[in-house]
Each structure stands twice: as C-alpha cells, then as structure tokens.
Amino acid sequence: MGYQQNPESFWKSTFDDGGDATKGSYTSWLAKHPSALDNFDEMMKKAKGKDIVVFLDYDGTLSQIVEEPDQAFMTDAMRSAVHEIALCFPTAIISGRRRDKVFQFVQLKNLYYAGSHGMDISTPLGSSKYTGHKHQTITTDEKGNEVVHFRPAQEFLPKIQEIIKALNDMAKGIKGATVEDNKFCISVHFRQVVLEEDVCILKERVENMIQAYPNFRISSGKKVMEIRPRIDWDKGRALQYLLDTLGFGTSNNVLPMYVGDDKTDEDAFKFIGRIGQGFPIVVSSTPKQTKAAYSLREPTEVMCFLIRLVKWKRSVSSSKSIA
C-alpha cells in the first residue's frame, strides 16, 4: 500500500500562510480555473440578457501589492477602466481597507464602496431587508443628500482601538512590522520584516494577545495578519447586501461578477457559488485553493478584462438601439 498523505498536511506543504502555492503546476490549476480573458466570449454568452453587477477588491486586484501599504496607488489607466465599467454596470469596491482610504486611492464617485471587509458600507438607499435595523443608519452628506451606512461591527470600535494601541506597542520591537487601522478591523503587516525569526515572534505575540479578546479572530493574508470581530459578516454578506440595495436581492436575472485576489474574497466567491449564477474570478499568477471559477494573472489583466467588458456592453447596447 502506498503512502497516503493527510489532506491537512498536504495543504500545508502545498500552500503558504497566505494561501499561495509553494509548489504545483499552474497549467493544471488553470484548467480548473480558466483565464477570464481567454474565455471571455463563453462568459458573455451566459451573460446575454442578464443584469451584470461588478464587484472588485482593491489591493492586488486594482493595484499591485506593494511594500508600503500606504503606497498602493492604482494607475490612471486602471482608474479610467474602473470609471468606464461603472458607467456600464452597477459597480462596487469591497476592500479590507478603511472605506475612506479606499476612496482616497480610487477617487471615483460613480461607484459604491465597502470597507473593512464589508463591515463599513455606504449607499444612497440602503437595504430594504435592514430597514430599522440598529446597524443601518441614515445621515446627510455635505450637499444635503441622504447617505445610508451599514456597520455591523459598530459596537466593537472601543475594543478595536484598545487592540490597536496594544499592537502598536508590540510592533515597535520588531523591525519592519506595521499596524494598520482599518476602522472595523486591523491589519498587522510583516512584508518588510526581514528575519523569519522575527515573523514567527510577531505571529506568536499577536496570537497570544488576541486570546485575551475572545470576540475577535485572526485570519491570514499576503504577508499580513487580519484581526476582526467574530460576527456573521464577510465579503459575501456585503455582496448580498449591496445586491439588495441595488434592487437585485430577489432577482433571478442578476449575474454578480466578483474579482479579487485575497483569502477574504473567497467568501464572495462562495456566495456566488451558492446562488448558482455569476462569475467569481480570482487574481493569481500561482496555483492556490479557491472557489473561483475563472482567473486573471495580475492587475494588468484585470484592467484588460474590464476594458473588454466595457466594449462588449457598448457593442450590445449599440446593436439593440439599431434593432
């Protein structure tokens, strides 16, 4: 009888802490998660007559992953592509960053923003399913327009600030470690920590510290530890909320398209899989565990895909107007 490797140990030997492959064939992986560019025409056949709604992650999807989180700027060409896509389809960005920080990066007003992994959403109308809910509140902007906020982790803010202070004190002793306040969640970055020993020390300290906060959990990303409240909310729930806000909550004709590169985007991919309609697209140049049906290699391919989608939409609209 041959040696049978434990599935968990196989996963650990094949993928690193961020879910990226440490070995394996990209070609065989691509057969299971084909390129959205190479299969564009096939995808659009499924989209014919449907209502496409576009959802995008930010870091690693619209911008490159960079050493300094505050320097994750998108290119002007990408900004133009996102602007054009939002003119053609309802479009939202769902990011782990603070919502106001994402807006500073994107600088576009013709789309929706959800920050803190979907725990901070602002829209003009809000969701009818959450009318009167304590986490859905209404304010007015500087122009007097109503803005509806949905913040399911609002009550955790005092504890989050307490944890941030403790993490900042802890990170001072590890060169290259940084703590990012994402309002309703926290990122501990170690991309610039040179010594692997220091990375291990940092992880151990963070894990030990969070044990004192049972209402919070840790998840891993690309050279980052994410700390957030233990609530039943993620990017998949945020996608569902935004679909309802846009009037597609009960529609059988909607095709949500989600493009993202991170582990946290898997919740959105899973949601699309559950409803059985839509396009979950992972951004990765290496094999990784994912529930996505399609893939794109990196942000440049994302931009090319968005541009092609705009051209397709305008071509379809032009054909209808002629008919």
pLDDT in tens, 69-90: 899 999 999 999 999 999 999 9
pLDDT value at residue 107: 96
What is the residue range of 246's domain? 50-119+233-316
Residue 10 has pLDDT above 50, yes or no: no
pLDDT of residue 141: 87
Which residues lie below 8 Å from residue 222, measured CB to CB, with a gap of 6+?
18, 20, 60, 65, 191, 261, 262
- Residue where one domain finishes, among candidates 229, 248, 275: 229
Asked if 149 and 134 touch (Cβ cutoff 8 Å), the reply is no
Residues 195, 249: one domain? no
| Residue 241 sits in the same domain as residue 104 | yes
Task: Identify whether 63 is part of a domain.
Answer: yes
Q: Say which amino acid occupies 175.
A: K
Please give the Cα distance from 148 to 280 (Å, whole number): 27
| Amino acid of residue 74 | M
Residue owning tokens 């399913």 = 129
Residue 246 domain flag: yes
Same domain, 310 and 246: yes
DSSP class of 69: G
User: Domain check: are 237 and 206 in the same one?
Assistant: no
Looking at the predicted structure, is the pLDDT value of residue 17 above 50? no
Q: Is 70 left (phi over 0), alpha (psi -120 to 50) or beta?
A: alpha
Residue 306 and residue 165 share a domain: no
CATH of the domain at 63: 3.40.50.1000
Same domain? For 192 and 61 the reply is no
**Residue located via tokens 């789309």:** 111
Instruction: Say whether both 99 and 160 belong to one domain.
Output: no
Neighbouring CB atoms inside 10 A of 199's CB total: 18
Within-domain flag for 71: yes
Domain-located, residue 30: no
Q: Is the pLDDT of residue 19 over 80?
A: no
205 plus 259 within the same structural domain: no
Mean of the pLDDT values across residues 295-303? 98
Backbone angles phi, psi at 215, to 5 degrees: -90, 10
Q: From the CB of residue 17, how many other CB atoms can be counted at a distance below 10 Å? A: 15
Please report whether residue 40 resides in a domain.
Answer: no
**Residue 25: inside a domain, yes or no?**
no
Q: Could you give the number of structural domains in the chain?
A: 2
Same domain, 258 and 274: yes
User: Do residue 311 and residue 259 come from a single domain?
Assistant: yes
Q: What token pair was written down for 172?
A: 């001072």
Q: List the beta bridge partners of residue 129.
A: none
Using pLDDT thresholds of 50, 70 and 90, give the confidence band for residue 178.
Answer: very high
CATH assignment of the domain containing 222: 3.30.70.1020
pLDDT bracket for residue 156 (50, 70, 90) = very high
Q: How far apart are CA 209 and CA 223, in angstroms?
A: 19
Q: End of a domain among 229, 249, 282? A: 229
**291: in domain:** yes
In a domain, 56, yes or no: yes
User: Both 219 and 241 in a single domain?
Assistant: no
Q: Which of 169, 201, 229 is the last residue of a domain?
A: 229
- pTM of the entire predicted model: 0.90
Q: How confident is the model at residue 23 (pLDDT cuts 50, 70, 90)?
A: very low
| Mean pLDDT of the residues in the chain | 91
